């Protein structure tokens, strides 16, 4: 696999690219493409989260599950969709919480690149998916890779805020050294669970409070079109 990734991440993760599980991922994707399977996101965006947020700039991690599986949605950033694409329900609920938490106006774009450029790693646990088949690549090895990413952040950084929404994300808590980092947990923002503890979590104001305590710049949570 041609790993298109920002150089600081390549240096940190170079060992992972040689491990059997990663070679298995590459072989699996190659086989599916040979059968003309449609895979999201496009190849150039599979590692978009790593391109937009260099390793040494990571301040916040928001963990998603796997990419959107409908056309034109997945862009390699968890919860994010490109400009001009309808805002998915979970992201709508994230925006509602931002509105009640910090008074942010509801955005008209679902493109979260502005967050990524400020140090918010928008990491899906699984980086690819077959069209119209959610979780179709959940068992091809991606979670070994993203678990290694979380561990490396935990080991080599201090004061990172991890936002773990829903049971799946919260299972990753064991990979994080909580003597060095902050973990904020809530229900998933999906319409099925947002009223069970996501709404009212105030994770966005709490994140900026913690960043300030760490001596880091807070996040401007307003997405911007055209990034």
The pLDDT assigned to 224 comes to 82
Ordered strands of the 161-165 beta sheet: 120-124, 60-64, 161-165, 182-186
Q: Report pLDDT digits (tens) over 177-218.
A: 999 999 999 999 999 999 999 999 999 999 999 999 999 999
The pLDDT assigned to 222 comes to 97
The pLDDT assigned to 4 comes to 76
Averaged pLDDT for residues 138-157: 97
State the catalytic residues.
66
In this model, does residue 2 exceed pLDDT 90? no
Among residues of the chain, what percentage have pLDDT more than 70? 98
The pLDDT assigned to 218 comes to 98
Q: Report pLDDT digits (tens) over 48-70.
A: 999 999 999 999 999 999 999 99
Place 226 in a pLDDT band, splitting at 50, 70 and 90. Answer: low
Model-level pTM greater than 0.85? yes
What is the 3-class SS of 45-101, one letter each residue?
HCCHHHHHCCHHHCCEEEEECCCCCCCCCCCCCCCCCCCCCCCCHHHHHHHHHHHHH
Question: Could you tell me if 171 and 185 are in contact, meaning their C-beta atoms sit under 8 angstroms apart?
Answer: no
Question: Could you tell me if 65 and 124 are in contact, meaning their C-beta atoms sit under 8 angstroms apart?
Answer: yes
Chain Cα centroid distance, residue 172: 13
Give the C-alpha distances (Å, rounded to integers) separating 52 from 31, 138, 141.
Answer: 28, 23, 23
d(CA 31, CA 199): 42
Averaged pLDDT for residues 127-149: 96
């Amino acid at each position: 696999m041609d790993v298109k990734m920002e150089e600081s991440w390549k240096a940190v993760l170079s060992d992972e690219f040689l491990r059997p599980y990663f070679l298995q991922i590459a072989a699996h994707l190659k086989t599916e493409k040979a059968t003309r399977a449609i895979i999201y996101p496009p190849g150039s965006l599979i590692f978009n989260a790593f391109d937009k947020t260099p390793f040494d700039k990571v301040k916040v991690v928001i963990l998603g599950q796997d990419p959107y599986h409908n056309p034109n949605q997945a862009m390699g950033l968890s919860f994010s969709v490109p400009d001009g694409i309808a805002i998915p329900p979970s992201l709508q609920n994230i925006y509602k919480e931002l509105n009640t938490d910090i008074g942010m106006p509801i955005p008209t774009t679902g493109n979260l690149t502005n967050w990524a450029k400020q140090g918010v790693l928008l990491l899906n646990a699984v980086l690819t998916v077959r069209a119209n088949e959610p979780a179709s690549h959940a068992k091809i090895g991606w979670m070994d890779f993203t678990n290694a990413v979380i561990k490396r952040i935990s080991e080599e950084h201090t004061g990172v805020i991890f936002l773990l929404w829903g049971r799946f994300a919260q299972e990753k808590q064991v990979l994080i050294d909580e003597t060095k980092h902050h973990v904020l947990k809530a229900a998933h923002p999906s319409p099925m669970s947002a009223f069970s503890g996501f709404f009212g979590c105030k994770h966005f104001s709490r994140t900026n409070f913690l960043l300030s305590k760490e001596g880091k710049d807070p996040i401007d949570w307003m997405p911007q079109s055209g990034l």
